[in-house]
Structure 1
């Protein structure tokens, strides 16, 4: 399936020159993994010091990258690499076509395929089985080894965990997002204001906010109880801005 054929002049002006240069090198070094198109977005992994999830809507020119640079500064080298890839070759696989292929496979073939996927991406087993016990334990163990962790890799780990959680059905996903926020807050507060966690904490609350509006009052109150308790006791700089997305539910 072809995405819209982007021309370089359509996107190069949206990036700093040094970011474009790095993105071009990433493209030339073949660091963009097999893009796929679904719901109008071209999605791919781009590999650098870590692997990041990149999304581009070529029609509306809407971009997203899971890297810390994107959260703080905007358009990054990983986005540039994917855009250069699309300018060079707009032909990408379609998720709908992939699903049609899977529907033709036997049960045994699907099980074999899932085994391979889980060996490559072990965390996906939580989604496939619906068992969040290990995921919950990993979430609550984030603080262990935090001081020795590389900041970029830690943020990517948190972002990866958040994206996985969002694939679960509600209300389970919302409860896990709440727990993730609470754990990040404890790290943030206990270590004296860890700034590189702020964007991820804000994203969690922004993700929760529209779902809270759909809940009845009692359900919402149960979900927000822990976050409300933190807010009432919070004396950090976070209180001035981080809770704005859920202000109506505190």
Structure 2
């Protein structure tokens, strides 16, 4: 599960045993240490201010863990379904980073080698990577496409990724893996300072998940947790817009998504809106936005069909959503 951690760090090398232990309940930390000692950490990498690894869990598939340092704060995520904070897989990776940093292959060294390669060998290397993992094509296209062409490309790829009418829980993991390439690219260009392009990449991902979530068997919560990580990034980007109107536009967009989301994603969005509204100090604005939508839904009762019809129940549920969100926001004014 994605989460934010309090330690302020200069770099990942300055992370201490004490700081890591403070992030976890004792039982979670103990399980993480056990996982590390059992050799469950696979493919560990470090690149600049990020560490990445896979961890063998209880399911046949591995979980993907990423730890980033953003502005002195550490942010970690895992694709496992644990929903109560940092999980044992993150604990295992961080413990491994503390006790055996040499096991993490430094991608910066590979970057230096690639920069020195001639075009021919470089192309051959890329083709070999694609043969090993076809999803590398997404990475290449995102990196090489001119940025004005990104909106159309991302929209098309979202349709391709969600082309199946129904996806069982085993294949949800593959979809999350593909989507994470787009999230990671959005994160990279955001950190480069191009917040506009980051949003261009990120918003179609959010909308595709909301539109298609009811067609997925997300029993173990992988997609829901990934969605929370995507919304965390969306929230990181918003404050960087200087104009108040732009920040409010993005928050109103989150409110629209909240009204569309189903099957638990609405809870992720409700938490997001409450948290980001408080961070941006926009409680009064968001209460007004919620109340405008409440008024619109109440007006729709005038022309609605019989009580207890599907239409009536839909509107009634949306009213409850809005009232609950309004109460959340007012509780933090």
For normalisation by structure 1, the TM-score amounts to 0.68
Partner of 1:117: 129
2:50 aligned with 1:30: no
What residue is the counterpart of 1:89 in the other structure? 100
The whole-number CA distance in structure 1 between the counterparts of 2:272 and 2:220 is: 15
* 3-state SS of paired residue (1:167): helix
The count of aligned residue pairs is 241
- Mapping of residues 1-250 of structure 1, within 5 Å: 4=13, 11-12=20-21, 14-48=23-57, 49-55=61-67, 62-69=74-81, 72-91=83-102, 92-129=104-141, 130=145, 132=154, 135-141=157-163, 144-146=165-167, 148-150=168-170, 154=172, 157-158=175-176, 160-167=178-185, 171=196, 173-188=198-213, 196=221, 198-212=224-238, 214=241, 230=257, 238=266, 241-242=270-271, 244=273, 245=276
Rounded Cα–Cα distance in structure 2 between residues aligned with 1:173 and 1:93? 27
| Contact 1:126-1:132 within 8 A present in 2 as well | no
TM-aligned CA distance change 1:40 to 1:139, over 3 Å: same
CA distance in 2, matches of 1:160, 1:127: 10
When residues 229 and 21 of structure 1 are mapped into structure 2, their CA distance, relative to the original with a 3 A threshold, is closer
Measure, in 2, the Cα distance between the counterparts of 1:218 and 1:14: 36
> 1:96-127, CA deviations, whole angstroms, 9 ceiling, x for partnerless residues?
33222222222222112111222233222123
Task: Give the drift of 1:128.
Answer: 1.0
TM-score, length basis structure 2: 0.54
Equivalent position SS for 2:92? helix
Q: Which runs of 5+ in 2 are unaligned?
A: 1-11, 146-152, 290-333
Shift of 1:74: 1.9
CA-CA distance at 1:161 after TM superposition: 0.6
How far apart are the structure 1 equivalents of 2:260 and 2:68?
A: 40
Please say if residues 178 and 227 of structure 1, whose CA atoms lie closer than 8 Å, have aligned partners that are also in contact.
no
For residues 140 and 215 of structure 1, what CA distance do their matches in structure 2 show?
34
Shifted more, 232-241 versus 156-165: the winner is 232-241
Deviates more, 1:72-81 or 1:10-19: 10-19
Maintained 8 Å contact 2:166/2:215: no
Q: Larger deviation: 36-45 or 77-86? A: 36-45
Unmatched segments (≥5 aa) in structure 1: none
- What is the CA–CA distance in structure 2 between the aligned matches of 1:28 and 1:76, rounded to whole Å? 16
| Aligned residues: CA RMSD | 4.5
Please report how far the alpha carbon of residue 65 of structure 1 lies from its aligned counterpart in structure 2 after TM superposition: 2.5
